[in-house]
């Protein structure tokens, strides 16, 4: 019987260790405040969903963890930068994240903006790091991965999603518009995480295509569940305030179709995600368990 809790905590430990090595290795006296702020936000006990998906996708196609660990960490840096900037007073104005003061509260706005910028840039620095023994075939793959991650994180992906999210406060979106917003804001980087792992692991085109189908479904389910937790969740468990979507008059799945239908929708998405994994055997148990976890989680 596959033990998800053990799997997640093992992967989290490996990811945390590598993140610490990357950020705190060879420090520069010029940047000590930025490094403190980067550490504050990235070491705040995140779920590491994106890097774990990257590693799991690599492993499901037969690749080893080492093949994609730094890539997985780069993606977590890019995710964390987006959280730091989204929390800023000019954006969502959140004081609490993962149970800790957000970066601009713990430091100040200028430091938060710059440390977000720094994590984004460090992500690309890590992605383009030359391994001495990288075969040329892998150099081509690496360039492709950098490109796909940049597209996913960029102005037609994650950044478009965040802009739309802000612009749509107080407006009632159509269901299809809300879906597009979430696919951009959350789905694109989750898909890019899975794509990167699968490519580095040596997945075939048809394997990668199935994994992306899985990724798109869990990405959307993740966001629907976030919307539900923002209403029903325990703020102590989650380490952030609840009810904020309602207070900001945000369009969410529960606001548009109700809580019961939202839960049903999330469950349907997870069914589709698991179905996309039918081409795999037991080696996809981690991805199947993660899919269920995405809607069953309490934080």
User: Of 27-46, which residues contact its own copies (CB under 8 A)?
Assistant: 28, 30-31, 33-35, 38
Choose between 12 and 148: whose C-beta lies nearer to its own copies. 148
Residues 6+ apart with CB under 8 A from 190: 49, 50, 53, 215, 218, 219, 222
Yes or no: say if 152 and 188 are a contact pair by the CB < 8 Å rule. Answer: yes
User: Of 244-283, which residues contact its own copies (CB under 8 A)?
Assistant: none
For residues 154 to 193, the per-residue mask of contacts with its own copies, x marking binding by CB under 8 A and - elsewhere, is: xxx--xxxxxx-xx------------x---x---------
Structure tokens at 269: 């998405």
Choose between 128 and 264: whose C-beta lies nearer to its own copies. 128
143 binds its own copies (CB under 8 A): yes
Distance CA 97, CA 55 (A): 25
CB of 30 to its own copies, least distance (A): 4
User: Of 68-87, which residues contact its own copies (CB under 8 A)?
Assistant: 81, 85
Yes or no: say if 211 and 288 are a contact pair by the CB < 8 Å rule. Answer: no
For residues 102 to 141, the per-residue mask of contacts with its own copies, x marking binding by CB under 8 A and - elsewhere, is: ------xxxx-xxxxxx-xxx-xx-xxxx-----x--xx-
- Per CB under 8 A, the list member of 151, 242, 259, 267 interacting with its own copies is 151
H/E stretch holding 24:
helix 4-24
Distance CA 69, CA 48 (A): 12
DSSP string, 169-226: TTS---HHHHHHHHIIIIIHHHHHHHHHHHHHTT--HHHHHHHHHHHHHHHHHHHHHH
CB of 209 to its own copies, least distance (A): 19
Residues near its own copies, by CB under 8 A: 28, 30-31, 33-35, 38, 81, 85, 88, 90-91, 108-111, 113-118, 120-122, 124-125, 127-130, 136, 139-140, 142-144, 146-147, 150-151, 153-156, 159-164, 166-167, 180, 184
């Amino acid at each position: 019987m596959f033990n998800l809790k053990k799997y997640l905590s093992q992967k989290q430990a490996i990811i945390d260790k590598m993140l610490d090595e990357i950020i705190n290795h060879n420090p520069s006296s010029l940047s000590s405040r930025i490094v403190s702020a980067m550490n504050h936000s990235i070491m705040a006990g995140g779920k590491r969903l994106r890097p774990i998906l990257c590693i799991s996708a690599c492993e499901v196609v037969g690749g080893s963890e080492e093949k994609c660990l730094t890539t997985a960490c780069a993606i977590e840096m890019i995710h964390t930068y987006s959280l730091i900037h989204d929390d800023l007073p000019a954006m969502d104005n959140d004081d609490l994240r993962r149970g800790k003061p957000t970066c601009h509260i713990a430091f100040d706005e200028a430091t938060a903006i710059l440390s977000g910028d720094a994590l984004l840039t460090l992500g690309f620095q890590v992605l383009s790091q030359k391994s001495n023994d990288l075969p040329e075939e892998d150099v081509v793959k690496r360039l492709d991965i950098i490109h796909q991650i940049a597209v996913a994180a960029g102005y037609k992906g994650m950044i478009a999603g965040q802009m739309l999210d802000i612009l749509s406060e107080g407006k009632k979106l159509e269901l299809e518009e809300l879906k597009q917003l979430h696919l951009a804001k959350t789905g694109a980087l989750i898909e890019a995480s899975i794509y990167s792992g699968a490519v580095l692991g040596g997945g075939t085109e048809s394997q990668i295509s199935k994994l992306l189908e899985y990724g798109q479904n869990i990405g959307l389910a993740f966001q629907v569940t976030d919307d539900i937790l923002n209403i029903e969740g325990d703020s102590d468990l989650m380490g952030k305030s609840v009810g904020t979507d309602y207070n900001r008059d945000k369009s969410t799945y529960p606001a548009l179709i109700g809580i019961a239908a939202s839960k049903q929708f999330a469950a349907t998405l997870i069914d589709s995600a698991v179905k996309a994994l039918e081409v795999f055997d037991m080696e996809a148990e981690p991805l199947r368990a993660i899919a269920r976890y995405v809607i069953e989680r309490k934080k």
